[in-house]
Amino acid sequence: MNSKHQYVELSDGHFIPPLGFGTYKLQEVPNSNVTEATKIAIEAGFRHIDCAYVYQVEEEVGLAIRSKIADGTVKREDIFYTSKLWSTFHQPELVQTCLERSLEKLCFDYVDLYLIHFPVTMKTGEELFPADENGKIIYDSADLCAIWEAMEKCKDAGLAKSIGVSNFNRRQLEMILKKPGLRYKPVCNQVECHVYHNQRKLLDFCKSKGIVLVAYGALGTQRCQECVDPSAPFLLDDPVLGALAKKHKRSPALIALRYHLQRGIVVLVKSFNEKRIKENIQCSLDQNPHTAFGSKKSSIDAVGRTFGLKLENVGISMQRIKSFLRREISTAREECAEKNPC
């Protein structure tokens, strides 16, 4: 492994890089951009790559990683790769199928981390976002504990080195932790977490159980109209972050990222801009002690208390999940109409 990187130990003995590169993209962004951005990220020093079955870019991400292995930049064991189980594969007998599909697209033998993407089940089938004639999501029921048992089997089979969850709240985590016959507990919980939504209570709970919190949206949430007041402030324009950035001669983005790292959180950052990708990795490589906030971290905590969401102890709200699904269904139907005009 690259000696200049620090790692966070997971409860199963494996190690995860504290800063990861996210690969989710909006529909209007070409898939080829993901390949190039992932290559740039690896060249810049990222060794933790986060993706998911539902992102539909695992083939492109796998191509990027394999190309960097082929040119000698990294070895496979240098890369910590995360994928996620999608909600239409929640029937226990389909959990490994979803993972195997991801592995086939990646041309990998294993993933380093496999997560249950959402604690929400949708109708089984090939449609990623099954909907009825009125455009409403078709949900289904599934036992989270049974899903977790299937995840454990994936680990036993050597298809995933570590297993965890995403977007789980405390109650859902406790369901798994208290499951009779539990063999492997979740090593992490990946949730939206940023200065305005700092997940303090959920972080404290996860730490008490030896579960690493992984933050996505660390530089601010996607500002979809259904979830965010258009008049709400932009995180990177926050005056507290701006003042700290000016003092330490860093960008507000690096200040926000460093804040999470100092809280013991693994952070994911996403960008298709080469300059920003190279800037973001400096957060984990920068050894300048002046970027360590010390008591100044409390001033950032105060920002979170002022503007944080009300559902602080929830991984992600049902409203936000449904909003995400509605947008994806709408986009899929528009693309289908373009390809199959009446």
- Point out the catalytic residue in the list 24, 53, 55, 139: 55
Q: Is 55 a catalytic residue?
A: yes
Beta-ladder partners of 49: 21, 81
Residues whose CB falls within 8 Å of the CB of residue 305, separated by 6 or more in sequence, listed in order: none
The catalytic residues are: 55
